[in-house]
Structures are given as structure tokens and as C-alpha cells.
Structure 1
Amino acid sequence: MLSNVEMVARLVLAGALGSVIGFERERLLWAAGLRTHMLVCVGACLIMIVSAFGFADVMGADKVVLDPSRVAAQVVSGIGFLGAGTILLRGEVVKGLTTAASLWAVAAIGLAIGGGLYVAGIATTVIVIGILAGVKPIEDKWRGRMQTRELRLTVRSGTMSIDTLHVVAGARASRVRQFVVRPGTDPDHEEVTVSFVRLSQTSVDAIAEKLRKNENVISVASSGD
């Protein structure tokens, strides 16, 4: 059986590790922030302690067979209801999956600390923080490159073709995903929409600047304007 000091130490350490991950979510203003992660981690730690040591007084009784892992195992599946509460559908975009995953990871950290696996719990905390804070800039950069960007042009009728655009775009011409020409409100003008994929906003702006120098181009607007 654990001593009271050891038991309290585990609970405090679980709360501290949960707060580290919770703070990262809190600074991004997610619904599940500092307090939620701390509560989940401490609660999971206590459940692990109860599961492992709470039935010691009846373990020696005749015809009593207990599986110490059963109570702790319910945390793994039970934390799903809390994670589901952090997932939101905004339009057609799902938000909150990462926070739900961090709550699930925090629960696992709490179980590890409750079971006395201090190195595993601390190491997991470091790894989770590295994933949440360190990988995000790489992820944002990749998503930025994959984002579709548009140029909307007003040109003199019959002066803008896909070949003309390719000449202006140069090496970036392969990034053109869509080229659409429509009649403009003025009979002498056409509205052209050009979509690029896997191209930075800086590169799109450079193409727009070249197009503005074309005497047949009346106006250019980009998706970043």
C-alpha cells in the first residue's frame, strides 16, 4: 500500500504534468484548456491509484478475485465523452480533434503517474508538448503550401489566354489548377479567374504584379487582398 506522502506526490505530479499540456491549449483559447487538462490528469491518476491499491483490504479474502486493471481501463474509453465535447463542426470544417487527442493523452499520463511510472509519464508529457507546439509551425507551413489561391482579373476581351498566363507565370505555370474566362459587365472586357495550388501567397503576388504591367490587364485582385 502507498504511503500518504507518496499518494499525494503522485497526484500533485499528475496535476503539474497536465498543466504543462493544458497551458499550450489555453494559449490558443481552446475550450479544453489549463484546468480541464489538470483535472483529467489528476482524476486519471486517482483512478489508477484506486484501481491498483484501493482493494488491497479484500484481496486476501477467500473466493475474492479482482483484476486491478479493470477500473483504470475504463478511463481509456470513458475519456471519449469529454474529448467529443471539444470537437466542433464549423461549417464544413471539424475543429478540436487535436485538443480531444491531448485530453486522451493527458488521461494516459495520469494513469502512468498513478501507477508509479514516473519516467514514462514525464517523457510522454515532453513528447506531447513537442507535438502540440513544435509540429504545428511545420503543419501550418505545409497547409499553406497546399492551399488553393486565386487571382481575379479584368482584361480586354480576347487578350488573355492560358498560354499568355503560362508565359507570365514562368516556372510556376505548372501550379495553375483552373483557368476560367467569363464575359464582363462591359462588352469589351472579360473576367478571368485563375486558381493556383501548392503556391505561396508571395509567389501569387509576384505573378499578379507582372500581370498588372500588361497593357491588356485592367485590374488584378488576389485571394490575399
Structure 2
Amino acid sequence: MITPLEVVVRLGVAALLGALVGLERERHEWAAGLRTHMLVCVGSALVMLVSMFGFSDVQGAPHVSFDPSRVAAQVVSGIGFLGAGTILFLRQEVIRGLTTAASLWTIAAVGLAVGSGLYVAAAATTTIALVILGLVRPLERRLFRRGELRRLALQVEPGAASLARIEEVLEAAGIGIARIEIQRDQDGGRDSVSLSLSSSIARSELLALADRLRALPGVRAIDL
């Protein structure tokens, strides 16, 4: 039977490891931050402790048959409900919160590992998770421009702006146009031109592109 001191130690280690990952998420101001990750990790550790030692009084008794590991198994599936709450569907093709949901699922597994006494596995997983969250992100941004600007909205004077000139500027920047939507102003003011781009634009290129588009005849406003 596990001692009370060992129970406290395991729950404390779970809180510490959960805090490390939670701090990284808190730094980016996500709703699931420090406290959420700590609670998930501690709760998972407690579930594992209950699964391993909570039924020791009746385990092996006549006419009693059960699988204590099923209690811990419910954490793996149950954490999905909490993770789903961190996912935001902002608009078409733009989803935020998947990484935070994955970190919650991972930290739940860390809590289960700590609860079962697998400190090395829990610490190694926490370290790898921090590397993925903190160091892989800059590399991902450098290799993939996914999630950056894919739409442009221009306010133009009717009949003064040439869509061909706008397309030339974008093509010169290596950006194609997948779709063009034009909304006419019935009062004779400015038309709205919405461009869906076939590729994303890096933040470092936004200002230069905006200057080139603004210099075109008839373009009065640009919404990035």
C-alpha cells in the first residue's frame, strides 16, 4: 500500500509538471493556461492513484471481479471534452486552439504517469512537450506560412482601379489570387474588392505589399 507521503509527493510533482507546460500556454494568453494545466495534471494523477490503490480493500475478494485500470482509461477519452472547449473556429480554414487542446491531452497523460510512479517518463514527456511548444513553433513559422494573411480587402473608386494592375502587384510578390469578390456601392461611393489569396503572406512582407497596392490609381483603403 502506498504511504500518505508518497501520495502527496506524486500530486505535488504532477502540479509542478503541469505548471511548466501551463506557463508556456499562459505566455500566449490562452484560456487554458497555468491553472488549467495544473488542475488537469493533478486530477489525472489522483485518478491514477485511485485506480491503482483505491480498490485494494475489495480487490481479490470472493465474487468480486473488476478492472481498476478502466478508471484511468477514462481520463484519456474524457479529457477530449475539455480540449474541445479550447478550439475556436474563427472562420473558414482558420482554427485556433488545437495545440492547446493537444497540450491538455498530453499533460493528462503526464499526470497518469506521475500517479503511477513513472517519474522519469513524466519528466521526459514534459520536457519534450516544452521543446515542441517553445522551440518548434519558430521553425514551423519559418518553413510554413500557414495561418497568416490569406485575404485582402480594398476600398476602390468605381471605374478608377484596375483589377489587372492589382493582380500584377500580387503576382510580382509571388502571390496568386484564388477568388475575387466585388461589392458595388449603390450610392456611387467606393466599391469593396475582397481577394482570396492562393498562398499566405508573411508578416514581414505586409507593409511593403500594402504600400505597392496603395500606390495604384483608384485604391483608397486597404484592410489587411
Determine if the TM-score, normalized by the shorter chain, exceeds 0.5: yes
Bigger shift: 91-100 or 48-57?
91-100
Q: Distance in 1 between matches of 2:169 and 2:89?
A: 40
The TM-score with structure 1 as length reference comes to 0.73
Match of 2:201 among 195, 199, 202: 199
2:124 is the counterpart of 1:126: no
Aligned length: 219
Q: Distance in 2 between matches of 1:96 and 1:192?
A: 31
Q: 1:59 aligns to what SS in structure 2?
A: coil
Partner of 2:45: 45
Give the 5 Å matches for 1:1-225.
1-88=1-88, 95-138=96-139, 142-143=145-146, 145=148, 147-154=150-157, 157=160, 160=162, 162=164, 164-165=165-166, 171-172=172-173, 175-178=176-179, 193=193, 195=195, 196=197, 197-200=199-202, 203=205, 205-206=207-208, 209-210=211-212, 217-224=217-224
Q: Distance in 2 between matches of 1:83 and 1:155?
A: 48
Instruction: Answer yes or no: is the 8 Å Cα contact 2:89–2:96 preserved in 1.
Output: yes
Cα deviation digits, residues 1-33 of structure 1 (max 9, x gap):
223332222111111001111222223333322
Identity level (%): 47
The TM-score with structure 2 as length reference comes to 0.73
CA deviation after TM superposition for structure 1 residue 169, in Å: 5.4
Q: 2:221 aligns to what SS in structure 1?
A: strand
CA deviation after TM superposition for structure 1 residue 118, in Å: 1.5
**Counterpart amino acid of 2:176?**
R
Work out which of the two has the higher radius of gyration on C-alpha atoms and give 1 or 2: 1
- RMSD value over aligned CA atoms? 3.7
Q: Distance in 2 between matches of 1:119 and 1:174?
A: 48
